[in-house]
Structure 1
């Protein structure tokens, strides 16, 4: 019986991930000719831009059979600017194959991928590629993996896995398994499989994908050491990608995680699966049904989005990796509305673009990860839509949070309407985003009204009051409120809820408890030893932090740490200049931290929270048959539900 596994290939750019994919397809008999990235004939880089750039930009699917293993491969982008697309794919995988170059150590983005694989609990095989390259040290790299990623990164090269030194190293990753191993001296195949599935063991294999060495060993390891996922009988699926084919048909890519997906099946209210496509590279076959564990592209859905759960599946976690730069788009002689439609279609494929139209500035804004994504977007607009648009210099995307708890109150009572909402805003761990909860008795506020409040909280991107930047890392809990059997409708609670959030933030601002956050890079700087002093001085000037590695060579030194994106984003050019091309700076987004120059940024934004009518902190009360506005600082004393400051 075939074992169905869906595995994703992930890697830092230039690690040889796409070359490995080609080798896997070739060695399994799926392809008769070995494609190459530099020849532009890679099976999973069919897009014109991918051929031009020599990198994977979009996630693609391939299918292969090796012995009794039926393997669906999802190739993911390798450049950090497209990491959000990779993150969406991780949510639908049984296993991942992390490709690492034997001569490049652990680049920053590889560490980010490792963190994401841990976040989504994806069991992972590691393929150490390019072992024939100059400076390759696979044994040393495995030691580095054990020291810096997990002691469970174990060399699976060779046949003796369930006995001997390799078995002992595996047993050391679990106390119960170790106790059994010390008694028997053996590990069962099932035990090893389970330790891999539990992410306690990460098999490491070595080879050269270009030379086809180690590829069969990787396939054999996948066939032997993987376990099929157990699924529920009821239908469920997870969306991981939206795309448009050459004819403009919108495709929703899903992994079926339970039951069966059938053609003409209603998946969303009023939306059916008009067609089920199973892709292999850029070719597809049409199926009448797709069974559990398989991947399909569904035509006919218009409101689906990446991360969405279908059937009995809940939506996935929001992406951890978020854009950090905002660009203004100049349409030039192009029709602004046509440009906006094109960008919104691309944002349908990648919601992280956050395309918006500024009425005040009469320009389009998009959110991006970096310059490579900007260049690709410009080329996509030209090739797909014939639009030649120009993007401004990217501006930093700030966020806001709080460092103190507060009760916010919103009241909405124009004539014949009524709702009052009390929310507790509390600081949450960095990187947690916004979370919502209810701690309100139903005798105080009915279940239906509580659901209206929670729905309203999720329906809007809440803005801070310092610069109007998105609010993050706050837990918002419903703690009280009032409704009217006669006059309250759902929209009233929406208005009261949004006003309560803003009112609470304004209360905090009066006590200086709002914090402006900016994105920081986690960097790794390799430079000649005689340039260390210059580099340290630069990093300090950039308000960054640094640590000098102790295992530096006689000629090169390594500095690592954190620094604001705003100050370090162009530093790679400076490094190349003063090091005469010997230095290298690797940067990945390391999250948001308090802004290093908050006062200056706040002043430059000229944001007046009380003048932002779409995000007002004020409330509306009613007297003598008419509604009237009440300023935010007077709302608590006029509230109908008891307020506790």
Structure 2
């Protein structure tokens, strides 16, 4: 108890508006005795209205990092600093703050809670040492809560759970724990019960791990270090209860974070990962990153890769943010998060230095909207502005339809629409509206196919042969080479592959983006005098397109659509209506499971069919039913023929994506139709001469032949 009082006094003594000096010296992170202070990046995640930002304010106040707690409803919270966030009362952009508690330096990242900004939350998760998942006691686990849980599992982030708003009406602590165990994990553990030595909680923790069980059987308890190890290994998930607005349970939660946040041993070589790109109030481009190795220093050169092409830039400033305020530091150790200026080629997910490439994001937009500019707006300026915003958010897809002279944006939902609209107006002075949203389809192939592209107008020359192979669903695009350097010099191979990687390739069924395909360079030819860089770009584009047209003729092209995993809860007497609806929607589902007066149906359904079904459920169940949705991934389109017919897409008329080639004859270039190109091609492929497949990664683009 005395130690607890001393800790509280220590935190209160630091309460002031100015930054505590030790936060500016986080590169040292040392106590008076010279021992290194434990530090951890802790993410706050929740579904909207769970009280996550209120909890962050209460934690900062309890630790003495701020003098007074802000309120979301008053628009003065320390972490929701953007005007759009304060106007809407929701977190849109991940924000940073720091506090110290019981010898642990905790760097908080407040991630967005609205489903439209799930991608921002996923990028934040990749930077975490530990996560704090907030669940509202009054409304329980939501569909988005389960999506966040899946992301935490995918990134293997140790997680604590805080059940907030326990001062409001709720089903009771036991019922809440039962729901957490049923919906999230059976090893959700009452953290307070464990701390008090409750035998049931101890047994639950011990049963999660063989070593912990042996310790419990021998000693009748589990040591704090063993408990922390269970949490770090995601063997148990401690659950705490409270009400952040009333400061109930906040200090106990901080105690647990300080004791259970995992410690890391970082490598000595510099490495970092970018998790966010933003702009300061003065328009400076900020790259938010986590240092995962060595030491980050101001004015140092850092290396990265853009679509496989290496680059090097100098960092100007290293900034530590506390809400909206920031201070600069000269250097920062591994394990820290910060924002840096000076980097122009980074994107969310960029790996710097020795950091490994990021895993492919799980979340992606499934809706595409026409961007309608105000009369008199320069279309090229609009597209440039959208693409600059897309460089800050890679899941904001931007497409320019040349034939229609229209810009289209791929977004997560209507709230993100509002954010993009306001950013375009405030930053670029461009007023836009959005047309009706449509499903973002994709295309792939189911059989390998070869393609060849030739570009030879007068005084130009390049030819490229590629092989396209199908990949498992959700893999995305891969690029590599099997071409011998005796047949095509490494520099030309690098150019062809960088050209292939620099754009989305349109499919030939509806013009939708190509996905889940490996594109391999297998042959090529250049001219010693006439070949220029742009020649290989044209030849590569045409080779990929010619391969897709061949696949189309062979019936090997497939249209994909997004599918949602759903959980539908309805009164037992409405199950028949629900099953009829799901069958009509082409859903695939399990048999209903009854629990009292309610029944639950789980399965997958096409995103195109779910639409406003949530509102329909509320209507026919009198408000008692609900449906939660999360993106399952892309799969074959359930009504492909109808979608293809409605699109009326003519791949041969899509001139910016032509499958035809240009050959030179009698001193002039002439077009050869795609189906005749193989007969006119100058290259052949000898399978015996092909090299083992090599990915077009940073090593391929940087190492000397």
Query: Which position in structure 2 is the counterpart of 1:241?
Result: 276
Structure 2 vs 1, CA of residues 192 and 635 (structure 1 numbering), >3 Å: closer, same or farther? farther
Query: Which position in structure 2 is the counterpart of 1:432?
Result: 475
1:399-414 pair list within 5 angstroms:
399-414=442-457
Q: Structure 2 residue aligned with 1:457, among 500, 503, 507?
A: 500
Larger CA deviation: 78-87 vs 137-146: 137-146
Larger CA deviation: 185-194 vs 45-54: 185-194
Query: Which position in structure 2 is the counterpart of 1:298?
Result: 340
Whether the 8 Å contact between 1:81 and 1:373 is mirrored in structure 2 is yes
CA distance in 2, matches of 1:358, 1:421: 26
What is the deviation of 1:55?
Answer: 1.0
Whether the 8 Å contact between 1:4 and 1:69 is mirrored in structure 2 is yes
CA distance in 1, matches of 2:400, 2:519: 29
Query: Which position in structure 2 is the counterpart of 1:592?
Result: 634
**2:676 aligned with 1:641:** no
Larger CA deviation: 366-375 vs 487-496: 487-496
CA distance in 1, matches of 2:198, 2:461: 72
Query: Which position in structure 1 is the counterpart of 2:610?
Result: 568
**What count of residue pairs does the alignment treat as equivalent?**
643
Query: Which position in structure 2 is the counterpart of 1:198?
Result: 233
What is the deviation of 1:16?
Answer: 1.8
What is the deviation of 1:588?
Answer: 2.7
CA distance in 1, matches of 2:230, 2:528: 57
Please state whether the residue corresponding to 1:213 is helix, strand or coil: coil
Please state whether the residue corresponding to 1:6 is helix, strand or coil: strand
CA distance in 2, matches of 1:563, 1:382: 37
1:42-57 pair list within 5 angstroms:
42-57=77-92
CA distance in 2, matches of 1:334, 1:588: 39
Structure 2 vs 1, CA of residues 28 and 488 (structure 1 numbering), >3 Å: closer, same or farther? same
What is the deviation of 1:56?
Answer: 0.7
1:513-569 CA distance string (max 9 Å, x none): 211111222233333444333333222222223445423332x44333322222221
Structure 2 vs 1, CA of residues 486 and 168 (structure 1 numbering), >3 Å: closer, same or farther? farther
Please state whether the residue corresponding to 1:10 is helix, strand or coil: strand
Query: Which position in structure 2 is the counterpart of 1:329?
Result: 371
1:114-263 pair list within 5 angstroms:
114-158=149-193, 160=195, 165-175=200-210, 178=213, 182=217, 187-263=222-298
Please state whether the residue corresponding to 2:343 is helix, strand or coil: coil
Whether the 8 Å contact between 2:572 and 2:594 is mirrored in structure 1 is no
What is the deviation of 1:485?
Answer: 6.0
Query: Which position in structure 2 is the counterpart of 1:29?
Result: 64
Query: Which position in structure 1 is the counterpart of 2:349?
Result: 307
Larger CA deviation: 190-199 vs 208-217: 190-199
What is the deviation of 1:486?
Answer: 6.4
CA distance in 2, matches of 1:560, 1:461: 34
Q: Structure 1 residue aligned with 2:549, among 494, 506, 509?
A: 506
Query: Which position in structure 2 is the counterpart of 1:90?
Result: 125
CA distance in 2, matches of 1:386, 1:485: 48
CA distance in 2, matches of 1:216, 1:549: 42
**2:587 aligned with 1:552:** no
CA distance in 2, matches of 1:642, 1:364: 40
CA distance in 2, matches of 1:604, 1:83: 31
Whether the 8 Å contact between 1:10 and 1:75 is mirrored in structure 2 is yes
CA distance in 2, matches of 1:436, 1:383: 38
**2:93 aligned with 1:58:** yes
Structure 2 vs 1, CA of residues 165 and 421 (structure 1 numbering), >3 Å: closer, same or farther? farther
Structure 2 vs 1, CA of residues 59 and 160 (structure 1 numbering), >3 Å: closer, same or farther? closer
**2:321 aligned with 1:279:** yes
Please state whether the residue corresponding to 2:192 is helix, strand or coil: coil
Which consecutive unaligned segments of at least 5 residues does structure 1 have? none
CA distance in 1, matches of 2:388, 2:287: 13
Whether the 8 Å contact between 1:536 and 1:546 is mirrored in structure 2 is no
Q: Structure 2 residue aligned with 1:106, among 141, 147, 150?
A: 141
CA distance in 2, matches of 1:334, 1:618: 35
What is the deviation of 1:315?
Answer: 4.2
CA distance in 2, matches of 1:583, 1:508: 45
Larger CA deviation: 403-412 vs 104-113: 403-412
Q: Structure 1 residue aligned with 2:74, among 39, 46, 58?
A: 39
**2:429 aligned with 1:394:** no
Structure 1 vs Structure 2 CA RMSD: 3.0
CA distance in 1, matches of 2:244, 2:211: 37
Query: Which position in structure 2 is the counterpart of 1:473?
Result: 516
**2:584 aligned with 1:535:** no
Please state whether the residue corresponding to 1:98 is helix, strand or coil: strand
Please state whether the residue corresponding to 1:589 is helix, strand or coil: strand
1:503-522 CA distance string (max 9 Å, x none): 22222211212111112222
CA distance in 1, matches of 2:484, 2:196: 57
What is the deviation of 1:395?
Answer: 1.6
1:111-147 CA distance string (max 9 Å, x none): 2112211222222222222334323344344344444
Query: Which position in structure 2 is the counterpart of 1:619?
Result: 661
Structure 2 vs 1, CA of residues 302 and 405 (structure 1 numbering), >3 Å: closer, same or farther? same
Which consecutive unaligned segments of at least 5 residues does structure 2 have? 1-35, 304-310, 688-705
Larger CA deviation: 35-44 vs 344-353: 344-353
Query: Which position in structure 1 is the counterpart of 2:625?
Result: 583
Q: Structure 2 residue aligned with 1:375, among 396, 400, 418?
A: 418
Structure 2 vs 1, CA of residues 413 and 119 (structure 1 numbering), >3 Å: closer, same or farther? farther
What is the deviation of 1:433?
Answer: 1.0
**2:466 aligned with 1:423:** yes
CA distance in 2, matches of 1:629, 1:375: 45
CA distance in 1, matches of 2:196, 2:261: 14
Please state whether the residue corresponding to 1:617 is helix, strand or coil: coil
Q: Structure 2 residue aligned with 1:16, among 51, 64, 67?
A: 51
CA distance in 2, matches of 1:585, 1:606: 34
CA distance in 2, matches of 1:445, 1:363: 39
What is the deviation of 1:637?
Answer: 4.6
CA distance in 2, matches of 1:146, 1:342: 46
**2:618 aligned with 1:601:** no
What is the deviation of 1:464?
Answer: 1.0
